[in-house]
Amino acid sequence: MKQASFCFLLFLSIASFGSGCRYEVNGKSPADYSADELRRWQLENIQSRIYGAFAQSQISKSPQDLLKLKDELAKLAQQHANPLIRYWQGYLHYYLAIFYLTVENRAASEDAVMQGIKILESIEQKNSEDYALLALLQSFSMQFRSVIGAAVLSGKIESNINKAIQLDDQNLRAYYAAGSNDFYTPERYGGGEKVELYLKKAIQLPDQKVPNNTLPSWGKEESYEILIRFYIRKEDWTNAKKYFKEAIAKYPHSYLIGQLATQLVDK
């Protein structure tokens, strides 16, 4: 039910992650653990490490770096009953699925995204971040579903997005997931009606409530990109240029935003 270009555009829309949601283990959040404990878990700057492995895999055309980090996180998950570790496992599988798709290995891509979904679904007490990432993985998996399967999954995605917002209505990633899902849903299935509402909300929210390099910090740059794409698609050049200027001022070195410049020339 998603457009054929979904997977490629999604790949262009995932460069950064941030939130203040609390991941608790035995009643403790990451802020309650010592730096030594977090280092033992190898979670410091884990998002950057995953993206770095993805970038290297893109250069080498081999998943080796991602698979190595995947094994490290799997071992950590066996040693510590920590939902934050499983969150990052899901995040890594998201990138692994994208990598395999870029090298045209659809079977491996489908397997990776389904593994990521399974890991996130295994978290018993999900928080807003868990539901937001789960919705993104499920959205990515739509391309591997039958028409009937996609229709059923669409309802699950909407449900998870709603839960993400209900659990934390100040989580920009929840609104990004909602806006992204609406943007990529074809109009004949009701898509495109709430893109502005969700993404304008997302870009107004902070990347993180409390700075913490073990927690996710994504969504705002990507929200700008999809919002601008939405206006370009609608040929609303006034708003497209307005938000492009705003976004490029915030992210002057952004590939996601910069690539849209050529579509706004002489508009």
Terminal Cα distance for the chain, rounded:
31
Sign of CA dihedral 133, 138, 139, 144: positive
The whole-number pLDDT of residue 137 equals 95
* pLDDT above 70 as % of the chain: 85
Sign of the dihedral through C-alpha 32, 172, 166, 186 = negative
How many C-beta atoms surround the C-beta of residue 128 within 10 A?
A: 23
How distant, in Å, are the alpha carbons of 10, 92, 103, 186, 195 from that of 107?
18, 17, 11, 25, 31
Q: Each residue of 221-231: pLDDT tens digit?
A: 989 999 999 99
CATH code of the domain made up of 6-214: 1.25.40
Return the pLDDT at 16: 35
Give the burial string for 108-121 (b: 16+ CB within 10 Å, else e): bbbbbbbbbbebbb
pLDDT of residue 29: 52
* pLDDT tens-digit series, residues 39-91: 555 788 898 899 889 989 989 999 999 999 999 999 999 888 889 999 999 99
pTM attached to this predicted model:
0.81
Confidence of residue 13 (pLDDT cuts 50, 70, 90): very low
For residue 18, the tally of other CB atoms under 10 A from its CB is 23
Q: What is the pLDDT of residues 241-256, one digit of tens each?
A: 999 999 999 999 888 8
Check residue 3 and give its pLDDT.
Answer: 42
